[in-house]
């Protein structure tokens, strides 16, 4: 084996951009307690690390948004307790998610899950709750076939593993709904009905964490929470908390 190859394999290339991430973390604080997601974030190069638009201090206490929030004020039928989002959905974050969807790279997946872990640790602190159960917003079967995997589920399963939470697929998606941002508020609300159905899992207990990649209006999260609570195995419906990778 030539020494060059050995060095090449030891080089720490950034899981996002491929640049050498040798001395990345430097003075950039990584806002995570758990050592494994911390390690994942510190595998990024300095440039990528600085590009993460963390939401450390949400303004909206319901949905965890970094701005004040009309959607939460207007919503009268909220089925979830609160949600927290790890980052703002900037152009860079859009690129990272697209890269992950396209490549399905495991190293990138761990980085995205580690970012979600930041929202999870925040949510635990703010809510004072502990979570026995975690689930994810499902994809419609034809979308799943097309893409090959459900990124929200993958991220939720990584989190389940790190924090020892039981992952269950508790919901089914009956049909695909169009991208929410393209529609008016009214049609979005109507659209969500009859989109999700419960999976029968008699053993789960709440509070339950519900994971999705992007929070746009909260309609998906809200509808999933409603269906989950209705289908709960106990008479007293469990609390549902949202955990989102990014807030658009
Ligand atoms: Zn990088
Ligand atoms: Zn809000």
Question: Which tens digit of pLDDT belongs to each residue from 191-238?
Answer: 677 899 999 777 788 899 999 999 988 899 999 999 999 988 777 889
Whether 184 shows a pLDDT value over 80: the answer reads no
SS3 call for 51: coil
Is residue 11 assigned to a domain? no
Q: Give the Å distances, CA to CA, from 188 to 76, 206, 216, 221.
A: 16, 28, 11, 12
Is residue 231 assigned to a domain? yes
pLDDT reported for residue 22: 73
pLDDT reported for residue 192: 78
Is residue 5 assigned to a domain? no
Whether 74 shows a pLDDT value over 80: the answer reads yes
Whether 3 shows a pLDDT value over 80: the answer reads no
Is residue 19 assigned to a domain? no
Q: Give the Å distances, CA to CA, from 146 to 137, 142, 151, 213.
A: 17, 6, 13, 18
pLDDT reported for residue 71: 82
- Calculate how far, in angstroms, residue 56's C-alpha sits from the geometric centre of ligand 1: 22
Domain count, the chain: 1
- Calculate how far, in angstroms, residue 20's C-alpha sits from the geometric centre of ligand 1: 8
Torsion angle (degrees, nearest 10) of CA 234, 237, 239, 244: 90
Which ligand approaches the C-alpha of residue 48 most closely? 1
Which ligand approaches the C-alpha of residue 108 most closely? 1
Is residue 243 assigned to a domain? yes
Pairwise CA distance, residues 1 & 230, whole Å: 61
pLDDT reported for residue 30: 84
Which ligand approaches the C-alpha of residue 22 most closely? 1
The residue-averaged pLDDT of 2-17 equals 66
| Mean pLDDT taken over the chain | 88
- Calculate how far, in angstroms, residue 39's C-alpha sits from the geometric centre of ligand 2: 31
Report the Cα–Cα distance between both ends of the chain, in Å, rounded.
48
Is residue 32 assigned to a domain? no
Is residue 154 assigned to a domain? yes
Whether 108 shows a pLDDT value over 50: the answer reads yes
Is residue 31 assigned to a domain? no
SS3 call for 128: coil
- Calculate how far, in angstroms, residue 75's C-alpha sits from the geometric centre of ligand 2: 9
Give the other-Cβ count within 10 Å of 6's Cβ: 10
Structural domain span for residue 61: 54-247
């Amino acid at each position: 084996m030539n020494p060059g190859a050995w060095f090449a394999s030891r080089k720490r290339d950034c899981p996002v951009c491929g640049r050498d991430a040798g001395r990345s973390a430097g003075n950039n604080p990584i806002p995570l307690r758990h050592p494994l997601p911390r390690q994942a974030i510190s595998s990024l190069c300095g440039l990528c690390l600085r590009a993460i638009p963390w939401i450390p201090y949400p303004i909206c206490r319901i949905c965890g948004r970094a701005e004040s929030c009309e959607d939460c004020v207007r919503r009268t039928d909220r089925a979830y307790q609160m949600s927290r989002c790890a980052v703002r959905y900037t152009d860079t974050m859009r690129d990272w998610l697209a890269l992950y969807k396209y490549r399905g790279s495991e190293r990138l997946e761990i980085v995205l899950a580690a970012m979600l872990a930041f929202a999870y640790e925040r949510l635990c602190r703010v809510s004072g709750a502990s979570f026995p159960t975690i689930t994810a917003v499902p994809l419609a079967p034809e979308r799943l076939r097309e893409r090959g995997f459900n990124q929200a589920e993958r991220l939720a399963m990584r989190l389940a593993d790190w924090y020892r939470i039981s992952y269950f697929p508790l919901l089914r998606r009956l049909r695909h709904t169009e991208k929410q941002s393209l529609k008016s508020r009214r049609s979005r609300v109507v659209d969500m009905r009859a989109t999700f159905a419960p999976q029968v899992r008699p053993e789960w207990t709440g509070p339950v964490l519900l994971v999705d990649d992007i929070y746009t209006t909260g309609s998906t999260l809200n509808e999933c929470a409603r269906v989950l609570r209705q289908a709960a195995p106990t008479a007293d419906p469990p609390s549902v908390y949202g955990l989102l990778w990014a807030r658009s």
